[in-house]
Amino acid sequence: MRKNLIILCLALLSTAARGQIANRSLGVSVGALHLDGLSASIPWAVPVALDGSLYLENGFEATAQLGVALVHDGTSGLNGWAVDGPWLGVRYLFREEAVRPSVRLEAGYLRAFGVRSLDPSSANTGLGFVGVSASGGVEVLVTESVSLGARGRLNVYFTLQQAWLAAGLELSAHAYF
């Protein structure tokens, strides 16, 4: 009887259990992407993206990202934009604490508009740029449900004729729910 009374008192006085961070996130990222060899007249792009993740288990997350990249063609003087994505992939978290280093592998697509030298319908680029991306970075939880992060990114884009490298840096903010 006394044991049951102690258990009842502890149960009434206890607080709700607090687990790891929530399993889903939505975020925004902005960065710089060096388009090495993709076009001599467009060396850089500024990608802005929305992305999300879903925690799977054992440190793995499914990721999705969709964005646009602002570009300027120095030869023609035209400004344009590119659809940067969708990117779908997997992220592995080395630690699931307040500081969260990770690596990410993704596959995606890049399609340019308004810039002749990156236009996938021009003769030298085929149907567009299918790509794979590897990245590594760190995310810091600033509150229980908000994080700020940075990651380095290396993309390889392919057409039927050749492949190009693109390297960049992204800064991000995510809300977990």
What's the angle, vertex CA 70, arms to CA 61 and CA 146, rounded to 5?
35
pLDDT score for 58: 93
For residue range 20-55, what is the model confidence (pLDDT) as tens digits?
567 999 999 999 988 766 666 677 889 999 999 999
**How many other C-beta atoms can be found within 10 angstroms of the C-beta atom of residue 139?**
24
Q: Which amino acid is at 54?
A: L
Domains of the chain: residue spans and CATH = 23-176 (2.40.160.20)
CA distance 26 to 36: 30
The CA distances from residue 99 to 94, 106, 156, in Å, are 10, 22, 28
- Does 14 score more than 60 pLDDT? no
pLDDT score for 125: 41
pTM of the predicted protein model: 0.78
Give the residue, 101 or 159, on which the prediction is more confident: 101
CB 52 within 8 A of CB 27: yes
Q: Span 55-60, mean pLDDT?
A: 94
CA dihedral (117, 123, 124, 125) positive or negative: positive
| Chain center to CA of 25 | 11
Predicted confidence band at 17 (pLDDT cuts at 50, 70, 90)?
Answer: very low
Identify each DSSP E strand in 15-78 by its residue range.
Answer: 24-34, 44-57, 60-72
- What would the two tokens of residue 106 be? 């993704």
